[in-house]
Structure 1
Amino acid sequence: MTSLGEAARAALLTPDPPAKRRAARALARAWRRGELDHRCDITMPDQPAWPAAPELLLPSQMPRRRKGGSERGRIAMLHALAHIEFVAIDLAVDLVGRFGGQFPRAFVDDWLGVAADEAMHFALLDRRLRALGSHYGALPAHAGLWEAAAATSDDALARLAIVPMVLEARGLDVTPATVERFRAVGDEASTKILSRIYKDEIRHVRAGTVWFGWMCDERGFNAVETWQSIVKSRFRGDLKPPFNDSARRDAGLTQEYYAVVAS
């Protein structure tokens, strides 16, 4: 029987976006069917395989997105979101393949479900881009999205603290305003996609918060104090308001976590 680690590594090393999407969903199905051993004893790649396009640029090199509701501006936003979802597939798969052996099976259940969600989100966004005359890879994208994974490759607790509980939680803060911008110009197709992603991301952040708390309990740590310490030492950016407190609360990420470290 193939191990969970072997299957995760194979998905990470799949560069073609549609093939990676299919690989992530197949990985989740194989796990649900009991076709994979719960073993994560194979080394994950330092960097997943990605396609030649989009061109990846440093944040300072990224072209400024135009504000307003022009089709060109909406395409740029959807492309940026599609790239986030594409990298999020690898983030979820790497979390399972790298650290899944340290957790019970329910952890793998949750995070392979997240990987399948991210694959579905990417497919929806790429389909919408094509309906608007574009596609994923047509524009440059942010090169720094994998940095948090690389910086936390040594510790599951740090990975959970930074990726779902900081980076994905930030999506909860900004997505409602993005949804309203698309709705204001009558782009209901994009609005429905972004609203679906928003609801799913609450569940993803909740998975991060729950399993962060579980590992803190296993290690005898205070979850809130440990999260704050990790964010201060491992996260390069700033936690800046405004925060979507209600969505964060729904995800289990209450104000006691982030209020004292916000800048």
Structure 2
Amino acid sequence: MTGPRESVAAAIRRALLTPEPKAKLFAAREVARRWRLGRLAWRFDVAMPESPAWPAEPELLPPHRMPKRGKGGSERGRIALWHALAHIEFVAIDLALDMAGRFGGEMGRGFVDDFLSVAADEAMHFALLDRKLRRLGSAYGKLPAHDGLWQAAHETRHDVRARLAVVPMVLEARGLDVTPTTRDRVRAHGDEDGARILQRILDDEIRHVRFGTKHFVARCETDGVNPPECWKNLVKTHFRGALKPPFNDSARSAAGLSREFYGGVASGANARLPHNS
């Protein structure tokens, strides 16, 4: 009986370099499935790309050029909301794949297990959101999207602690804060199907933040550094944004992200972390 031929790194790289959205989500799910079934070799013999392949549409714009969504109850506002969420989940597929492929060799099999399962979840989330858009008469790519979502990955490509600190423990944790409000607003407009999608995403994102926090803390302990202090220093250096309350303390706690990490960082509504230029 012969062993698996393709390396896990090569399979991940191929998924990252798949531009078409539906093909990418299938590629991500297939990598996760093959890994789970033991059909990929534990080898990191190819490098991850500097950036993933994305489709020609949507047009990517800086935040200040993004059009206003309009009121949430209007058709235009609903489509803009679901499109923005779909883009976040589309980029999240690549964030999870890159995490596993770039750092898996140094972090171990459990790390790859966790982040390939995250990639499969994000692919499922994207499929749900794209289907939602199609029911509204639109589709992913029909509107412009935020161009900065890969920036955090690029800037932390040489440091697994920095990547974990910023992507799961800041960006995804922010989703834990804002998704319940969005879910409730969608439900108030009579969209129970949309509310169910957002609840599913919220439930999964708690697990994703838990994975990030678990591996961050373990790496800090291996390196002999204090996890909350290390996190604060890395976020100051690598996160170009604000940490704004209110925080969803219960969801963050369920994800293992205690107030010991973020409680003293943002003391007011406009608190901003310093960062290196």
TM-score normalised by L of structure 1: 0.98
2:19 maps to 15
Counterpart position of 2:243: 239
Given that 1:69 and 1:181 are in contact with CA atoms closer than 8 Å, whether structure 2 keeps it comes out as: no
CA contact (8 A) 1:55 1:139 kept: yes
Name the structure 1 match of 2:274: none
Find 1:75's aligned residue among 67, 79, 90.
Answer: 79
2:229 counterpart residue number: 225
The aligned amino acid for 2:264 is: V
Q: Which moved further from structure 2: 86-95 or 102-111?
A: 102-111
Question: For the Cα contact (< 8 Å) 1:232–1:261, is it kept in 2?
Answer: no
Whose relative contact order is higher, 1 or 2, with alpha carbons under 8 Å and at least 6 apart? 1
Give CA-to-partner distance per residue, 1:229-258, whole Å, 9 cap, x none. 101111111111111111001101111101
CA-to-aligned-CA distance 1:201-253 (integer Å, 9 cap, x gap): 00000000000011111111111111011011111111111111110011011
Q: Counterpart in 1 of 2:200?
A: 196
Q: Which residue of 1 aligns with 2:114?
A: 110
**Does the CA-based 8 Å contact 1:124-1:193 persist in structure 2?**
yes
Q: Give the aligned residue type for 2:181.
A: A
- Specify the alignment match of 1:250 in structure 2: 254
Q: How do 1:24-173 and structure 2 match up within 5 A?
A: 24-173=28-177
Percent identity over the alignment is 65
| 1:188 Cα deviation after fit | 1.0
Query: Which AA in structure 2 matches 1:44?
Result: M
Amino acid of the structure 1 residue aligned with 2:217: G
Q: CA deviation at 1:189?
A: 1.2
3-state SS of the aligned residue for 1:177? helix
- Distance in 2 of aligned mates of 1:164 and 1:48: 19
Contact 1:40 1:99 in 2 (8 A): no
Paired letter, 1:122: F
Letter in 2 for 1:14: T
Amino acid at match of 2:156: T
> Offset at 1:65?
1.4
Paired position in structure 2 for 1:210:
214
Following superposition, which runs of at least 4 residues in structure 1 exceed 4 angstroms of deviation?
A: none
* 1:41 Cα deviation from its structure 2 partner: 3.1
> Would you say 1:181 and 2:185 are equivalent positions?
yes
Q: In proportion to residue count, which structure has more helix?
A: 1
What is the deviation of 1:179? Answer: 0.3
Query: Could you list the runs of 5+ residues in structure 1 that have no partner in the other structure?
Result: none
The residue type equivalent to 1:246 in the other structure is S
